[in-house]
Amino acid sequence: MNQFRELYLPEAEQGVLGAILLASLDGDAALAQDIVSQMTSADFYHLDNAALFDAIGDCLARDMPVDPVTVGVVQRLLPSGETTMAYAAEITNNVPSTANWRAYAQQVKKWAVIRQIIDVGRITHEGVADDLPADEIIATAQQALADLRDLQDAGANYKRLSDVVPKVLDAMDDAVNDRAPPKLSTGLVDLDKLIGYLRPKTMVVIGGRPGSGKTMLALQIMQSVTVAGGGTGLIFSLEMAEEELCVRSIASLGGVDLRRMENAKDLDAEEWSRVGVAVGKIKQAEIYINDTPGLGMRQIRSIAREVKRDHNLSIMMVDYVGLVGSDGGAFNRTDAVGKISTALKNLSKELGIPILVLAQLNRNPTSRVGKKPQASDLRDSGQIEQDADAVLLVHHDPESEAGQNGVTEIILDKGRQAPVGFCRVQRQGQYARFVDLVGYHAFSDEEVEMNRPFANTYKGRKDHA
């Protein structure tokens, strides 16, 4: 047996793609749509084939004809560097007809399942090698098997709701018997209570004005899932360079003042020791980063799928949605950001992970009484609010005494699985992190809206029994 055999059939993957192209060229748009509807880009092992499938899907979504030229217009280059038009033309010439597309598709699906089975074994083996507790290994393997069941069911276009009941009851039984996969924590106790932990297949939007701390919060959540939780994270940092993000991580994990790190000669022995501890944590953590500016969704999807396949991705962060490049076909920036938002939501469901999507706010909160942001303040597109499973807004008012003392509100203004509300955390800007706020006496809503100074809230008042 050849142990180096590729985990897919190149002929089958190209056969499916060729059948779609031929059907469209023959004027059978219905057949092309039918084939596309029964496949996903995750079914394809070869990244060029997955990218070509996405380009075909984009053409169909825009009511464009599908042929080597149009897919080349939608996406000029494939991940390998080959031109999309040349690759699509080669496939079209090599596939004899559309007659056997179902057989090709079945083979592609079967090999996708085989890869998933191998991943279950790999995950279990790595858990044993890392000397993890048996319960944790079993829980992780069970989650991988659940993902496998989802993959096997993906070929059906519809199902009875009763068919879903066993999956729900199994998950409830696992929770009762402590077999459920560990929950993904934000690392902040009150925030976990507010949102009910991070859930798979969700898009969590973190919005805020510049300097409010949205990147700081998202990075801290990534560290909680990866460093403390042992998961795998992927960061697309479209605004901040990888070096700056790494410095922030060291400051946050080691408790080292960012300003002092700018001049390493000033660090004392204790601070260098803290830097060493933080670096050790980062080296042990499975955190991956890409800071290429202007990445489009096709590139983001391709990289995320690769990390998911190779490292079992747990969580992803995009900083920020307004800087994601447009793949074309949008009438304006609002339309483009809306398409990007929907693509990120779909990607979270495809990969089965939470995706943290950072977004800027417009200037409306600055003129509002109390200056509190709302989900409707998200800049560029209202589609972001619609697609989000949860919208977290970071509110830090430096003009108030509470804000000057680092008190920051994290507002849940939309939640599919949790009621709207807010929690307060302590901002430690010098360490690029938030910490749980202990012993803070909350304002009443009326006092917040009146923007009364922090000190005046208590001046001249006595506690009454």
pLDDT digits (tens, 9 = 90+) for 50-69: 989 988 988 887 778 899 99
**358-382 per-position pLDDT tens digit:** 998 887 776 676 678 888 888 877 7
Do 104 and 220 share a domain, yes or no? no
Within a domain: residue 106?
yes
Owner of token pair 């070509």: 52
The tokens for 275 are 């830097």
Do the domain assignments include residue 180? no
236 and 297 assigned to the same domain: yes
Same domain, 378 and 282: yes
State the Cα–Cα distance between residues 219 and 435, nearest whole angstrom. 13
Residue 115 is part of which domain span? 1-136
Within this chain, do residues 194 and 81 fall inside the same structural domain, yes or no? no
Residue-wise pLDDT tens digits, 139-177:
666 666 665 555 555 455 567 777 778 878 887 887 788
How many independent structural domains does the chain possess? 2
The answer to whether residue 159 sits within a structural domain is no
Does residue 458 register a pLDDT over 60? no
Please tell me the predicted confidence (pLDDT) of residue 145. 65
Of 136, 170, 197, the domain-final residue = 136
Q: How far apart are CA 94 and CA 318, in angstroms?
A: 39
pLDDT band at 182 (very low <50, low <70, confident <90, very high): confident
Query: Are residue 122 and residue 238 in the same domain, yes or no?
Result: no
155 lies in some domain:
no
Domain assignment present for residue 168? The answer is no
The string of DSSP letters for 104-168 reads HHHHHHHHHHHHHHHHHHHHHHHHHHTT--HHHHHHHHHHHHHHHHHHHHTT-S---GGGTHHHH
Q: How confident is the model at residue 463 (pLDDT cuts 50, 70, 90)?
A: very low
Residue 10 covered by a domain: yes
- 460 Rama class: left (phi>0) / alpha (psi -120 to 50) / beta: left
Q: At what angle are helices 10-25 and 47-61 packed, to 10 degrees?
A: 20
Span 212-241, pLDDT tens digits: 889 999 999 999 999 988 899 999 998 888
Same domain, 112 and 240: no
CATH, residue 83: 1.10.860.10
Instruction: Give dist(CA 197, CA 185) in Å, integer.
Output: 5
Q: Are residues 127 and 205 in the same domain?
A: no
Q: What are 245's two structure tokens?
A: 């993000």
Q: Is residue 287 part of a domain?
A: yes
Q: Do 306 and 419 belong together in one domain?
A: yes
User: Cα(223)–Cα(50) distance, rounded to whole angstroms?
Assistant: 30
**Do 322 and 446 lie in a common domain?**
yes
299 with 405, same domain?
yes
Q: What is the CA angle 337-204-298, rounded to 5?
A: 45
For the entire predicted model, the pTM comes to 0.65
